[in-house]
């Protein structure tokens, strides 16, 4: 009995020990988390900066307040905001301030004169600085040419210096100049009178009653004989012509061509039709430009209504 009791106690102890022993923990292998890739944003285009037109660019710049006021007064805002392209040689406020006292105020009160001056600062097309320096002249919207020179590395437009170039706009380009450039306001007759070398020609024009025709809007091209040219005619010829107005008128009209034909254009021609209805023969001889038998000795005297080329002999029609 004693043996059974001991056995029973031993069995109980074993069972209790098994119940109290810590159970084995099942280890489950897990994958380490993979790093999440950070998405790379798609490249985005930088927003395009919208260009301003010529007028808005001048307004935003702040150095052209007088020019902008003049453009507004002349009613040219829409023209300079148009499609273009245009090239503007823009005088600064300092350039306008350098004009004689009262000039700006006088121009603001004389809109036709102001308009002409402003149009003389504008060239059709977009002419960048590298193209400007290749030019000798540029035709303005006024119908007169500005002279372009490169002097000591400086670009000059009718004596005004270009101080800033290539301000691009939505409808063209602005080049800044340091002076206001003024177009020729004298007509063909005025310049011939003031020049002093054409007294006989002027007297003939007056005798023939052609003054008003040569002072009209034009444009006209006049091949003007000097006093020396008239003096070289056979003795008594001038006096005879002054007494024969129809013949004198024919001769004078034979010296005038319709339109503004600058020297660069003349040399490309073989003939030109005059207001008399007869043609002049144009030729190049040893680098000299000849009209019939007369030599062109001075070219491109611009006037408000055309251009004068000086010749060394009187042209006689058939």
Domains of the chain, by residue range, sit at 54-177, 188-311
- How does DSSP assign 195-250, residue by residue? HSS-HHHHHHHHHTT-HHHHHSS--EEEEEE-HHHHHTSPTTHHHHHHT-HHHHHH
Tens place of pLDDT per residue across the chain (318 aa): 444 444 444 444 444 454 445 544 444 455 555 555 556 666 666 666 688 999 999 999 999 999 999 999 999 999 999 998 999 999 999 999 999 999 999 999 999 999 999 999 999 999 999 999 999 899 999 999 999 999 888 999 999 999 999 999 999 999 999 999 999 999 999 999 999 999 999 999 999 999 999 999 889 999 999 999 999 999 999 999 999 999 999 999 999 999 999 998 999 999 999 999 999 999 999 989 999 999 999 999 999 999 999 999 999 998
Beta bridge partners of 258: 220
The reply to whether 188-311 shares the fold of 54-177 is yes
Superfamily of domain 188-311: FAS1 domain (2.30.180.10)
Report the distance separating Cα 181 and Cα 96, nearest Å: 10
The fold of the 54-177 domain, in CATH, is FAS1 domain (2.30.180)
Residue 221: is it exposed, middle or buried by C-beta count within 10 angstroms (0-12/13-18/19+)?
buried
CA separation for the pair 210, 224 (Å, rounded): 14
Tally of residues, the chain: 318
What pLDDT, on the 0 to 100 scale, is given for residue 48?
A: 64
Q: What's the whole-model pTM score?
A: 0.75
């Amino acid at each position: 009995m004693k043996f059974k009791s001991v056995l029973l106690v031993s069995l109980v102890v074993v069972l209790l020990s098994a119940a109290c022993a810590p159970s084995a923990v099942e280890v489950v292998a897990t994958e380490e988390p993979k790093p999440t890739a950070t998405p790379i944003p798609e490249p985005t285009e930088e927003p395009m900066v919208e260009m301003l037109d010529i007028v808005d660019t001048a307004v935003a710049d702040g150095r052209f307040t007088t020019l902008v006021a003049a453009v507004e007064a002349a009613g040219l805002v829409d023209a300079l905001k148009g499609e273009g392209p245009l090239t503007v040689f823009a005088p600064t406020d300092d350039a306008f301030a350098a004009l004689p006292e009262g000039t700006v105020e006088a121009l603001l009160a004389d809109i036709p004169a102001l308009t002409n001056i402003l149009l003389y600062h504008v060239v059709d097309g977009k002419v960048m600085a590298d193209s400007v320096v290749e030019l000798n002249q540029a035709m303005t919207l006024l119908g007169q040419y500005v002279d372009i020179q490169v002097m000591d590395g400086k670009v000059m437009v009718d004596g005004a210096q270009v101080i800033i170039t290539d301000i691009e706009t939505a409808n063209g380009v602005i080049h800044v100049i340091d002076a206001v450039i003024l177009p020729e306001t004298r007509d063909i007759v005025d310049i011939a009178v003031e020049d002093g070398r054409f007294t006989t020609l002027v007297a003939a024009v007056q005798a023939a009653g052609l003054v008003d025709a040569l002072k009209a809007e034009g444009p006209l091209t006049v091949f003007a004989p000097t006093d020396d040219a008239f003096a070289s005619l056979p003795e008594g010829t001038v006096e005879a012509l002054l007494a024969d107005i129809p013949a004198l008128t024919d001769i004078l009209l034979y010296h005038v061509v319709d339109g503004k034909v600058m020297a660069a254009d003349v040399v490309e021609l073989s003939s030109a039709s005059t207001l008399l209805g007869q043609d002049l023969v144009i030729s190049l001889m040893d680098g000299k430009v000849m009209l019939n038998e007369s030599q062109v000795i001075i070219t491109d005297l611009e006037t408000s209504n055309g251009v004068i080329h000086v010749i060394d002999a009187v042209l006689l029609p058939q």
